[in-house]
Amino acid sequence: MKGMNDLLRQAQMMQSKLLKAQEAAGERTVEATSGGGRVRVVCSGKQELQSIRIDKEAVNQDDVDMLQDLVLAAVNEALRQARSMMEQEMNSLTGGLKIPGLFPPGME
């Protein structure tokens, strides 16, 4: 029975460490750009967009489609980087073991 209690205690410690790591990674940000830096997106580790900056030179009334593509590319790259950052943080604690329910949706 002592072995089971030790195992439960270790699991609780691991859970606490993982929650702290998730919180810390969620507070960090990543930045992605497109169009040679004309569109810049900042995203949190929680995969929430924090800012989008568009250089005036990227705004062309005759080519709105290009601007939309640049924004979409920067947002998708920022989200990819945020997922990767969170996944690396969790993998460093779990040794690469995928624990169901541990990772945010889309990372499992």
CB 46 within 8 A of CB 59: no
pLDDT-derived band at 70 (thresholds 50, 70, 90) equals very high
pLDDT-derived band at 100 (thresholds 50, 70, 90) equals low
pLDDT at 55 over 90: yes
pTM over 0.95: no
In a domain, 55, yes or no: yes
Tally of domains in the chain: 1
In a domain, 63, yes or no: yes
In a domain, 78, yes or no: yes
In a domain, 14, yes or no: no
Q: What domain range includes position 34?
A: 28-103
Note the pLDDT of residue 8.
83
Q: Which of 67, 22, 26, 73 is nearest to 47 (CA)?
A: 26
> What's the CATH code of the domain at 46?
3.30.1310.10
In a domain, 44, yes or no: yes
Give the residue-averaged pLDDT of 23-37.
Answer: 89
In a domain, 5, yes or no: no
Give the residue-averaged pLDDT of 22-29.
Answer: 82
